[in-house]
Amino acid sequence: MVDEIAQVKFSEKTHHLFSFATKYCAWHQPDKFQIFDSHVEQMLWAYRSYGFDKFHREDLHKYARFAEVIKNFCKFFGIEGFSRKDLDKFLYIEGTPH
């Protein structure tokens, strides 16, 4: 669903609005979808060194793979009990440059 919503055509050119699509889906079904943005990408990339998952940055731009990385992140760090919303807030806040 997210990947389909992300494909938007403007002036004969198709754009991949992945961050918008994840936010749209998470807003309408917060228990089903995780938010992706540059802050989340930064945090997952930084935590990648712990070995919770082997992924490339571009992998995060396909929702199924992104969701798998998030699942592995939560399992590795023992935070499966956190809500998606709480995880969104953590990744966003911690990924924001201070």
- pLDDT for the residue 96: 82
- pLDDT for the residue 23: 96
- pLDDT for the residue 49: 96
- pLDDT for the residue 67: 97
Q: Read off φ and ψ for residue 44, nearest 5 degrees.
A: -65, -40
- pLDDT for the residue 97: 79
What is the distance, to the nearest Å, from the Cα of residue 59 to the centroid of all Cα atoms in its chain?
10
Query: What's the residue count for the chain?
Result: 98
Average pLDDT in the 67-81 region?
A: 97
| Whether the model pTM is above 0.85 | yes
Residues 74 and 68: their CA atoms lie apart, in Å, by 10
Closest CA to 4 of 20, 13, 12: 20
pLDDT digits (tens, 9 = 90+) for 13-54: 999 999 999 999 999 999 999 999 999 999 999 999 999 999
- pLDDT for the residue 75: 97
What is the residue-wise DSSP string for 23-90? HHHHHH-TTT-----HHHHHHHHHHGGG-S----GGGGGSHHHHHHHHHHHHHHHT-TTS-HHHHHHH
Residue 61 and residue 18 in contact, taking contact as beta carbons nearer than 8 Å: yes
pLDDT digits (tens, 9 = 90+) for 82-96: 999 999 999 988 888
Average pLDDT in the 52-70 region?
A: 97
